[in-house]
């Protein structure tokens, strides 16, 4: 299973603490999003946080905001706890959770899910679960696999294609139109909104929706 591959990947401990998709600029895009929308969130949930590079950067800049981060891997969550302790960050916490069964018992002003839905088979259930955890008036931000993602993957090494097996097989591809139909609301292009339209907007589209 894809989930088992990620557990094994983080269990080995030989991974870089890096932000996926757009690298170190990912946290800057979140700040730009907050500026452009005028949002002043008290809580921010990151689902599939991995090494949480983006989330740590944001937590340091926004000490009054609560950051709730979760990932499927117990090992990466343990590592993240240790980093938070070393940096003396009391406004960020970590839990082991997985999609689509994301019952954390509360809602958040911002729910953020990047570079994660590639690896979830029940993608519609996962997107609904993310949306269900957004406070009314809050925002859901996420990227998703589409046919262009699958085309990009065909040019990648076999090892990467194994990690992205669900995308490679076309099992969990989805379109923006299908997302809008699923959530019953408009989905706007996140990359364009934050001035990063060149950041894989074709093969790794990202959207935001307001609840």
pLDDT digits (tens, 9 = 90+) for 105-118: 999 999 999 999 99
Higher per-residue pLDDT: 69 or 196: 69
Q: Does the pLDDT value for residue 5 go beyond 70?
A: no
CATH of the domain at 185: 3.40.50.150
H helices within 12-142, ranges in order?
A: 26-37, 53-61, 74-86, 123-132
Statement: residue 13 has pLDDT above 60:
no
- Phi, psi values for residue 76, rounded to 5°: -70, -35
Please report whether residue 172 resides in a domain: yes
User: Cβ(211)–Cβ(135) under 8 Å?
Assistant: yes
Domain membership of residue 26 (yes or no) is: no
Residue 34 falls inside a structural domain: no
The total domain count for the chain is 1
The confidence score (pLDDT) of residue 81 equals 96
User: Cα 109 to chain center, whole Å?
Assistant: 15
Helix (H, G, I), strand (E, B) or coil at 210: strand
Q: Return d(Cα 54, Cα 51) in angstroms, integer.
A: 9
Average pLDDT of the residues in 13-38? 80
Answer yes or no: is pLDDT of 69 > 90.
yes
Residue 186 covered by a domain: yes
CB atoms within 10 A of CB 41: 16
| Structure-token match 């990466």, residue found | 76
Output the pLDDT for position 159.
84
Does residue 32 belong to any structural domain of this protein?
A: no
Whether 12 is covered by a domain: the verdict is: yes
Give whole-number Cα distances, 197 to 21, 37, 205, in Å.
12, 17, 9
Residue 140 belongs to some domain of the structure = yes
Q: Which domain holds residue 112?
A: 2-21+40-210
Q: What is the pLDDT of residue 163?
A: 86
Phi, psi of 50 (to 5 degrees): 60, -135
Q: What pLDDT does residue 168 have? A: 95
Which has the closest alpha carbon to 68: 48, 51, 44, 40? 44
Confidence band, pLDDT 50/70/90 cuts, at residue 33: very high
Higher local confidence (pLDDT), 123 or 17: 123
pLDDT of 12 reads 56
86 domain residue, yes or no: yes
Say if residue 150's pLDDT is above 80.
yes
**Are the beta carbons of 166 and 120 closer than 8 angstroms?**
yes
């Amino acid at each position: 299973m894809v989930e088992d591959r990620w557990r094994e990947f983080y269990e080995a401990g030989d991974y870089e603490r890096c932000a996926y998709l757009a690298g170190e600029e990912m946290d800057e895009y979140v700040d730009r999003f907050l500026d452009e929308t005028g949002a002043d969130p008290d809580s921010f949930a990151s689902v599939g946080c991995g090494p949480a590079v983006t989330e740590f950067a944001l937590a340091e800049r926004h000490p009054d905001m609560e950051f709730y981060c979760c990932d499927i891997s117990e090992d990466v969550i343990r590592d993240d706890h240790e980093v938070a302790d070393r940096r003396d960050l009391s406004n960020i916490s970590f839990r082991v959770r997985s999609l689509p069964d994301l019952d954390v018992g509360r809602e958040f002003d911002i729910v953020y899910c990047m570079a994660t839905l590639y690896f979830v088979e029940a993608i519609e259930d996962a997107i609904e679960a993310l949306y269900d955890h957004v406070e009314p008036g809050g925002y859901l931000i996420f990227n998703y696999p589409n046919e262009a993602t699958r085309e990009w993957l065909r040019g990648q090494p076999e090892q990467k294609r194994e990690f992205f097996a669900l995308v490679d097989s076309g099992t969990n591809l989805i379109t923006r139109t299908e997302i809008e139909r699923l959530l019953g609301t408009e989905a706007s292009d996140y990359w364009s909104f934050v001035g990063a339209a060149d950041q894989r907007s074709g093969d790794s589209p990202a959207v935001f929706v307001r609840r």
